[in-house]
Each structure stands twice: as structure tokens, then as C-alpha cells.
A and B are shown apart, each in its own frame.
Chain A
Amino acid sequence: MKCLVTGSNVKVLGKAVHSLSRIGDELYLEPLEDGLSLRTVNSSRSAYACFLFAPLFFQQYQAATPGQDPLRCKILMKSFLSVFRSLAILEKTVEKCCISLNVRSSRLVVQLYCKYGVRKTHNLSFQDCESLQAVFDPAVCPHVLCAPARVLGEAVLPFPPALAEVTLGIGRGHRIILRSYQEEADSTIKAMVTEMSIGGEDFQQLQAQEGVAITFCLKEFRGLLSFAESANLSLSIYFDGPGRPAIFAIKDSLLDGHFVLATLSEPDPHPQDLRAPELQQPAPQLQAHSTPHLDDFALDDIDSYMIAMETTVGSEGSRTLPSTSLSPGFQPHCSPGSHSEEEDDTEPSTVPGTPPPKKFRSLFFGSILAPAHSPQGPSPVLAEDSEGEG
């Protein structure tokens, strides 16, 4: 395997690694025919991120040396990130970056060719592993939002950097509403609630009904957002109802990126009305025009993010999986035209046999093994310690 990145693409690669580092502690690297894929997942399995760099992104791209097994490995995120730690230095001094596999020493070699003849070589140890694959299909999501990253960057600006979760919803008049999410458990500590309302005209695509809303981790989203802003790309958000994973996607001719984040589910069949009763309000109700539209939100007490792993193999019955596709690649195409049904899914979010609804569910991960290594029966959680050969 050998990949050679030159010029400004080195910084792009570095920025992607920075984005991925916001999600997980291990980087899964896999050179595929359609490009180099870098993936990660967070420890609670509630967030998955993936960047795919097309062969054209590289000056030279060789997925696998003939005769060698295709590489499928994972590296400590910290180690890989340290190569690209300072983006400013990458931009200023690094001319080329070469990623290759040293079979003899079992090391992933990342070489930075810098100015003045300086060459930095990093020998990173890796672990062979199964391909990390999340099962998701943007085409299945009924709701789509698409906007330039700049618009979304401005939208999250009023929120404190420390804010963990945010609720995204569609308000009256096709306005997109972002609101800081507070866990009910902390109701004794009354925190400031911030809400941002943007007109639908700022969005390139808005296919969602009024009243739909999802709550997801803002910190993880910021990872992709900062990348999209620096690359000046548009960001698409594909989502369904609460509890179903939300897909954040960016794409250009040389790369695409997907962040799949779990969303808080709705355990209460009778969602609480967000609008508080006006106790002492002699004046007419003077609420900001956007707030009443979040009445349908059920921002109730979710105790903790829960890790719920299921394999796609042998769980076709689970309706929480947006897609039962077993292909190793994902289909990032969005085909809004094909969504003939526009009404919300009214099916309950509880599915028989799944964990109690109160917990955070994102049951979309599977361990998809390459055909040569198909398991006998349903395989357990990502078999990370496998040797890699059949």
C-alpha cells in the first residue's frame, strides 16, 4: 500500500484527522479500491465518523501491493494525530506526505517531506482488525437539510463551546431552530438556554416537516463542521425521528465525509409541552416567535448514552437499523426526489427485543466482515483482536 499526498492536500488530510480525533481514540485505516478510508467510532458507539479520499486526491495511490493482503488496520488516534498535530506547520513546511506499509517491520510508515530537505518519518504500530463499518443509508432518511458550512458555523456560534448536546428542529415558517439541550436531571442548576433560529432561505435544501426535531452531540458535530468550513463545503444532514441516527455528510470531487451520530430517543409517549404555563403574565405572551414551535420536543431525562451493539447479520428484524445493506461501502448518494412519502414515521420508537427505551440507542453498528471472512453465525461486537487472516 502506498499513498502520496502533495501540496495543500496534506493540510486537508491533517484537518480530517483532527476532525476524526474529536470522535474516537482509534483510527481505522483501510485503503480501498475507491480510495483511502479513515474511520473512527467513539467509545460508547454513539458516534461514527468516516472520511474517504478518492484516488485522485493523491498524487500516487496504490491500495494494495499485488501479492499482499489488503491492509485493514487500526492505529491509536493519538499517534496518527501527532504526525499532523500542527496544521500551521503542515501548511508552511510540508511539501509531500507519504503513507505506506512496511511489511517487514509491521509498521505503518508516514513520511513528511518538508522544505530544505528535511524528512520526518513516523513508524506507527498498528493492529490488524476487521473493517469498521456502520450500517446507514442517507437515502432512507425522510428529512434532509443542506447548507453551506459557513451558515451552520454561524448557527452554532452563540452556543457555549462547552455545551454537550443541541436540539435541531424545524419551526413554523420553515425556520431551522437550534437550541441548547439541558438534561432534566440537572434542573436544580438552572443553566442559560440559547436558541438560534435561521430562515429556510439560507439552506440549499430543506426537506423536513415542521415539528420534527433531533437532539445530538454538538461537540461531535463540531468536528465535521470545522472541517467543512475550512474546505468551504456544503454540509448535508439526513435524519429521521428521535432515536434514529442522524447522518452528517460532506462531499466534493476528491473526498467525502460522513459523521453518523446517535440522537436522543423519546421514551415518553406523551411528550412534555415545552411551553411553560404562564403563571403571572399580565402582559400578552411575549415569546420569541420560534419557541412555541418546539412544543413537540420531548426533551426528557435520558440517563446516559448507552452502548448497544447489534450486528447486522442476524438482526434484520430490528427496525431501528436504517438499512440492512451488507455492502462494505456506503452509498452516500442522496436522492431527495425518490422520497415520495413525506409524512413522519408514526411507528413507535420501541422495538420488541431492544433495550429499555429510556436509554440512548443507536443500534446501527454491525461488524461487517469481508466476504472471505464471513462468520458462521452472528458475530459479536467488533472483533478487534482478530488476526486478520481467515
Chain B
Amino acid sequence: MKFRAKLVDAACLNNFTRVSNMIAKLAKTCTLRISPDKLNFILSDKVANGGENFFSEFQMEGVSAENNAIYLELTSENLSRALKTAQNARVLKIKLTNKHFPCLTVSIELLSVSSSSRVVTHDIPVKVIPRKLWKDLQEPTVPDADVSIYLPVLKTMKSIVEKMKNISNHLIIEANLNGELNLKIETELVCVTTHFKDLGNPPLASENASQDRSSEQMAEVHIDIRKLLQFLAGQQVNPTKATCNIVKNKIVHFDLLHEDVSLQYFIPALS
């Protein structure tokens, strides 16, 4: 098993750092899936994050020819802390190494005013995940969404959801094909609803769905507000594209695109 990658572009480095910070905010431990053409961060709350095109050099060799992937478990904070020193990096290299125990070695060559180079190396301990557990880490298959809608500004959403959390843990998210999204909290004493209008809907994948329902009909999911808040809290920058897909009473799926990085976040309905 081997893995080795190199990052030289400052913008890509920033993106990678940002992704890592986001992951660190979302979960304490994350799984890194290394495939021949991309790198995925998988968090146990069913979040998957894929990234390609970052690396100027990317070489990997999986467990075996048929299973050409590597699954590693690591503490997310370690990676984001390692990348914090990469702000002024000339080159960033990531390798899978074995120093007493398996490590992801992040080697950063810093830009230096003087003639000499400065190199920072971080050895992040990782756990190699055996093949028999790989099936638990596959991207979930999601049934076609009933409604697909573009999200409002995430910061606005976050501040609203934060306030709602004080009232109840049970949040109802609903949207329709008319560009309307509602966030609802219902308790014995009070009902609070925030209405977002004119959000716009992306073209739906399946044509049948759009014919069956009227554009005003809402599709709703009941979710744990804390999961939504955790997701929103990790978003530092507004994404290039943000879509919310609702499968009625089953699951809500957030699909974000930050330039080259795509983030998928699935929140299951409360049973």
C-alpha cells in the first residue's frame, strides 16, 4: 500500500486547508478514502467529501489490484493543525509512511525570506481500516429527491437555526418546487416558522417527479436540529453552489460545491 501526493498551487492549498478545517469542525475522527483519482473524507454521520484536481502529483497503490483503495482513520484536528502551518507553503507533500506505526506524513516546505529552506513535517497517526469494514463507508444510495432547491445564504440559515435550537430539537425542513423553503419548530407553547422565498430550483433529475406534484406542494423531513447546526457551523465560506434535496419523510441531502470540492451531507429523518 502506498500513497504519495504533492500540492504546489497556493489556491489549491487554501482549499485543502479549508476542507480540513471544515472536517475538523464536523467530526473528531474522520476516514480518508484514497482512490486512484480522488481523495474522500468520510465522516460517520454520513458525510462524504470528495476532492480532485488539487494535487500536482498523486500516486497511490491500494490494498490490492481489485480493491485499489486505501481507507485510513485519523483524528481530524491533527490534519487541520498540520495544515495550519501550510499557510506560507511552497510545496506540500502527503505520504503514507510507517514510523513505529502507520502515519500520514505531511511535509511542508515553507517560503522563507532567507536563502535556506525550512521544512515542517507532521506525522499524523492513522489507522488502516481493514477491507471487511469498507462496506460501511460507501456513499449512501439516495433515492431520487422529491424536491430539489437552492439554499439561501448559509450564514443566515445558521443564525436562524441557532436560535431555533433553544426552543426545540425537532426541526421540520420543507421545500417546494416554487423556490420556497421553510424551517419550522413546533412545541406545545409556540410555533416558529422561517420562510425563505425566491430561492430557485435546480432542474430535477427525474422528469416524472416534476409532473406528479404541483410546484406548490411541500416535501418535508423531520430532523434533529443539532445535526443541521453542526453542518452549518462548519461552513466558513459561502459555497459556489448549494443545493438541498429532500426525500419526503426520509432524508435531507445537502450538496455543496466549493470550487473543486464537493461536500455531501445527509441527515436522516427522525424516526
| Chain A contact residues, CB within 8 Å of chain B | 154, 157-158, 160, 190-202, 275-276, 278-283, 286-291
- Asked if B121 contacts A192 (CB within 8 A), the reply is no
A193 and B114 contact, CB distance less than 8 A: no
Nearest CB of chain A from residue B126's CB, rounded to whole Å: 9
Given A191-B125, A279-B98, A282-B61, also A196-B2 (CB < 8 A)? no
In this assembly, does B4 line the interface, its C-beta being within 8 Å of a C-beta of chain A? yes
Which residues of B are found within 8 Å of A154, using beta-carbon distances?
118
Contact: A286 with B121, CB < 8 Å?
no
Residues of B contacting A276 with CB < 8 Å?
98-100
A-B contact pairs, 6 of them (CB 8 A): A196-B118, A200-B116, A201-B116, A202-B114, A283-B4, A290-B119
Residue B24 at the A interface, CB < 8 A?
no
A192 touching B123 in the complex, CB below 8 Å, given contacts A160-B81, A278-B98, A281-B2: yes
Question: Per a CB cutoff under 8 Å, which of A190, A280, A289 touches B1?
Answer: A280
Q: A202-B114, A288-B119 are in contact. Are A192 and B82 (CB under 8 A)?
A: yes
Q: How close is A294's CB to chain B, nearest CB, in angstroms? A: 11
- The CA of A196 and the CA of B114, in the complex, are separated in Å by 16
Most chain A CB atoms below 10 A, which of B1, B107, B117: B107
Q: Which residue of A lies closest to B127 (CB)?
A: A190
Chain A contacts of B1 at CB under 8 A?
280
B119 touches A196 (CB 8 A): yes
A128 to chain B, nearest CB (A): 48
**Partner among A191, A195, A275, A283 whose Cβ is within 8 Å of the Cβ of B121:** A195
A sample of 20 more A-B contacts (CB under 8 A), given A198-B118, A278-B98, is A158-B85, A158-B120, A191-B125, A192-B81, A192-B125, A194-B120, A194-B122, A195-B122, A196-B121, A199-B114, A202-B116, A275-B99, A280-B1, A282-B2, A283-B2, A286-B95, A286-B97, A288-B119, A289-B119, A290-B121
Residue B134 at the chain A interface, CB threshold 8 Å = no
Chain A residues within an 8 Å CB radius of B85 = 157-158
Contact pick for B114, options A201, A283, A286, CB 8 Å: A201
Instruction: For B86, give the chain A residue with the smallest CB separation.
Output: A158
Q: Is the beta-carbon distance between B78 and A192 smaller than 8 angstroms? A: yes
Of chain A, the residue at the smallest CB distance from B105 is A288
Assembly CA distance A197 to B119 (angstroms):
5
Which of A157, A158, A276 has the most C-beta atoms of chain B within 10 angstroms of its own C-beta? A158
Within B62-79, which residues are at the interface with A (CB < 8 Å)?
Answer: 75, 78
B196 contacts chain A at the CB level, 8 A cutoff: no
Q: What is the interface size of chain B, counting residues whose CB is below 8 A from a CB of the partner? A: 31
User: Contacts A158-B85, A193-B123, A282-B2; is A199 near B95 (CB within 8 Å)?
Assistant: no
Most B CB within 10 A of own CB, among A201, A288, A290: A288
Complex CA gap A123/B53 in Å reads 66
Give the residue name and chain of the B residue nearest to A178 (CB).
Answer: B120
**Which residues in B have some Cβ–Cβ distance to A below 8 Å?**
1-2, 4, 61, 75, 78, 81-82, 85, 95, 97-101, 103, 105, 107, 112, 114-125
Contact B107 A288 (CB under 8 A): yes
Q: Which residues of B contact A193 (CB under 8 A)?
A: 99, 103, 122-123
* Residue among B82, B103, B118 with most chain A CB within 10 A: B118
B82 nearest in chain A by CB position? A192
A205 CB to nearest chain B CB (Å): 15
In the complex, chain B residues whose CB is within 8 Å of the CB of A280: 1, 98
The answer for the CA separation of A287 and B119 in the assembled complex, in Å, is 12
Q: A192-B78, A288-B121 are in contact. Are A201 and B98 (CB under 8 A)?
A: no
Contacting pair B121 A197 (CB below 8 A)? yes
Q: How many whole Å from B265's CB to the nearest CB in chain A? A: 27
A192 in contact with B115 given A286-B4, A288-B107 (CB within 8 Å): no
Assembled-state Cα–Cα distance A198/B110 (Å): 10
Instruction: Report A-chain residues with C-beta under 8 Å of the C-beta of B61.
Output: 282-283
Separation of A43 and B226 alpha carbons in the complex (Å): 46
User: Which 8 A-B pairs have CB atoms at the shortest separation, nearest pair first?
Assistant: A199-B116, A190-B125, A193-B123, A201-B116, A158-B85, A195-B121, A197-B119, A288-B121
| CB of A149 to closest CB in B, whole Å | 15
| A154, A279, A283 pick with most chain B CB within 10 angstroms | A283
Residues in A whose Cβ lies below 8 Å from that of B82: 192, 194
The complex places the Cα of A154 from the Cα of B123 at a distance, in Å, of 19
- Min CB distance A219 to B, Å, is 18
Chain A residues within an 8 Å CB radius of B114: 199, 201-202
A-chain residues with CB within 8 Å of residue B78 when the two chains form the complex: 192
Q: How far is the CB of B138 from chain A (nearest CB, A)?
A: 25
The answer, among B97, B101, B115, B121, for a CB contact under 8 Å with A201, is B115
Query: Nearest A residue to B124 by beta-carbon distance?
Result: A192
Contact of A190 (CB < 8 Å), options: B81, B101, B105, B119: B101
Tell me the minimal C-beta distance from B180 to chain A in angstroms.
47
- The chain A residue sitting closest to B61, CB to CB, is A282
CB-CB nearest in chain A for B126: A190
Residue of B nearest to A198 (CB): B118
Contacts of A194 in B (CB 8 A): 82, 120-123
In the bound assembly, the distance between CA atoms of A218 and B114 in angstroms comes to: 25
Known: A157-B85, A192-B81, A200-B116. A281 touches B98 (CB 8 A): yes
A192 B122 Cβ-Cβ under 8 A: yes
Closest Cβ of chain A: how far from B25's Cβ, in Å? Answer: 18
- Chain B residues with Cβ below 8 Å from A192 are 75, 78, 81-82, 122-125
Residues in B with CB closer than 8 Å to A195 are: 120-123
- Decide yes or no: A197 and B118 within 8 Å by CB, A286-B97, A288-B105 being known contacts: yes
Closest residue of chain B to A285 (Cβ to Cβ) is: B97
A146 to chain B, nearest CB (A): 15
Q: Is the CB of B122 within 8 A of A198?
A: no
Which of B81, B100, B115, B120 has a CB less than 8 Å from the CB of A196?
B120
CB distance from A224 to the nearest CB of B (A): 22
The 8 Å CB contact of B117, one of A199, A275, A283, A291, is A199
Minimum C-beta distance from B223 to chain A (A): 34
- CA of A196 to CA of B4, assembled, Å: 20
Complex alpha-carbon distance, A37 and B159, angstroms: 55
User: Taking the nearest CB of chain B, how far is it from the CB of A383, in angstroms?
Assistant: 46
